Structure 1
Amino acid sequence: MKRSSSLSTRSLRSILASLVLLLAAAVIPEFPSAQAQSAPTSRPSSTAIRTPDFDETLRWYQDKLGFRLIGSENFVQGRTAVLERSGFLLEVTEVDHLLQQDQDPNAGNEAAVTRVPVISLIVPDVDKEVSRLRKAGVDILQSPEDELDGRFRTAQIRDNGRHRIELREPIDESGYSAMGR
């Protein structure tokens, strides 16, 4: 049985279908026939994360990283919301303890912890962004440093649900690819 929602199921499905199309479009420049393009035409556009603390996660992304809430949906199994920042869409889904245990019965709450970034955001100045986030009390996992290939300056932070987020500042846009690597 569905609870009240700010978006209809049809609207949310439409948004999610659009996300899939945007992701597909972001991959196209990776094919050899499109590699001759001289300038980047797309950037990663969306991702989704699961969290057991839905309300706090929404607040964290809005307060710390400047995302805005586009809409949310309440279901019997949990809630889902779509946030946006600079055209990048983030779907946040609520997961209760039982769903986490189904994934790995021995992991408990550690099931939400990632060792690699689940989100990678392009920022204009990674040092300035890390400084701002540090002052806001955000957990900095990796201070800004240049990648070995010299194309990006990166840092890593952790959100309130312990997901890793990579911040990437392009140093050399000529080597940019649509997936950020």
Structure 2
Amino acid sequence: MKPNSSLSTRSLRCILAGLGLLLAALVISDLSSAQAQSAATSRPSSTSIRTPDFDETLSWYQDKLGFRLIGSENFVQGRRAVLERSGFLLEVTEVDHLLQQDQDPDATGGVAVTRLPVISLIVPDVDKEVSRLRKAGVDILQAPEDELDGRFRTAQIRDNGRHRIELREPIDENGFNAMGR
């Protein structure tokens, strides 16, 4: 009778393992379709930047833009930290060198700036934010202006390294800017 109970136990384990795999596949399928629907209707809420000036970059994002440190890790290759501001996550990775970039005509101080913004932050008042950042010594790459479609007022700044950051102030669908501009 022992061989039959062993066979039954083995069969039961296989059935349970199969059911577990089927359940996992269903959960993954549901998550994937939910993520696809969410991605179609939402904007990105995170990004990652690389920098050789890790400590300086963390301080810059905390002091100038109000990000808070969520956590950090040390690896053999360098360090990594995650910062957060109003639900937006920023991963900062330490590197010993940066990838070559084509020279940007907007480069300042001999440091090439990314051509397109790597970060886009929603702010309540772009003009006030730019004024505050200018007083704090931040490089302003584009003064505040309304986008052609009239949905956002935008400006662009440069972080302590070479990353272009876009500041966006929403304007409602009727062209009304709640800030009175």
Instruction: Tell me the TM-score normalised to structure 2 length.
Output: 0.68
- Indicate the residue corresponding to 1:89 in structure 2: 89
Q: Quote how far apart the aligned CAs of 1:48 are.
A: 0.5
Indicate if the aligned counterparts of 1:51 and 1:112 stay in contact, CA closer than 8 A: no
Q: Quote how far apart the aligned CAs of 1:45 are.
A: 1.1
Please show how residues 150-169 of structure 1 align to structure 2 within 5 Å. 150-169=150-169
Q: Quote how far apart the aligned CAs of 1:47 are.
A: 0.6
- Indicate the residue corresponding to 1:48 in structure 2: 48
User: What are structure 1's unaligned runs of at least 5 residues?
Assistant: 1-20, 30-41, 176-181
Matched, 1:170 2:170: yes
Aligned partners of 1:69, 1:112: CA distance in 2, in Å?
Answer: 27
Of all paired residues, the percent bearing the same amino acid is: 84
User: What are structure 2's unaligned runs of at least 5 residues?
Assistant: 1-31, 104-109, 176-181
Q: Quote how far apart the aligned CAs of 1:27 are.
A: 1.4
Aligned partners of 1:142, 1:105: CA distance in 2, in Å?
Answer: 20
- Residues 111/160 of structure 1: CA separation in 2 closer, same or farther (3 Å cut): closer
Corresponding pairs, count: 137
Indicate if the aligned counterparts of 2:145 and 2:154 stay in contact, CA closer than 8 A: yes
Q: Quote how far apart the aligned CAs of 1:104 are.
A: 3.8
The DSSP-based 3-state class of the residue aligned with 2:117 is coil
The DSSP-based 3-state class of the residue aligned with 1:150 is coil
- Residues 150/66 of structure 1: CA separation in 2 closer, same or farther (3 Å cut): same
Q: Which has the larger radius of gyration?
A: 2
Select 1:27's aligned residue among 11, 20, 39: 39
Indicate if the aligned counterparts of 2:111 and 2:162 stay in contact, CA closer than 8 A: no
Q: Quote how far apart the aligned CAs of 1:44 are.
A: 2.8
- Indicate the residue corresponding to 1:113 in structure 2: 113
Indicate if the aligned counterparts of 2:101 and 2:112 stay in contact, CA closer than 8 A: no
Deviation >6 Å, runs of 4+:
none
The DSSP-based 3-state class of the residue aligned with 2:124 is coil
- Residues 151/129 of structure 1: CA separation in 2 closer, same or farther (3 Å cut): same
What's the C-alpha RMSD, in Å, of the aligned pairs? 2.8
- Residues 105/117 of structure 1: CA separation in 2 closer, same or farther (3 Å cut): closer
Q: Quote how far apart the aligned CAs of 1:162 are.
A: 1.7
Indicate if the aligned counterparts of 2:146 and 2:153 stay in contact, CA closer than 8 A: yes
Indicate if the aligned counterparts of 2:113 and 2:158 stay in contact, CA closer than 8 A: no
Aligned partners of 1:135, 1:105: CA distance in 2, in Å?
Answer: 29
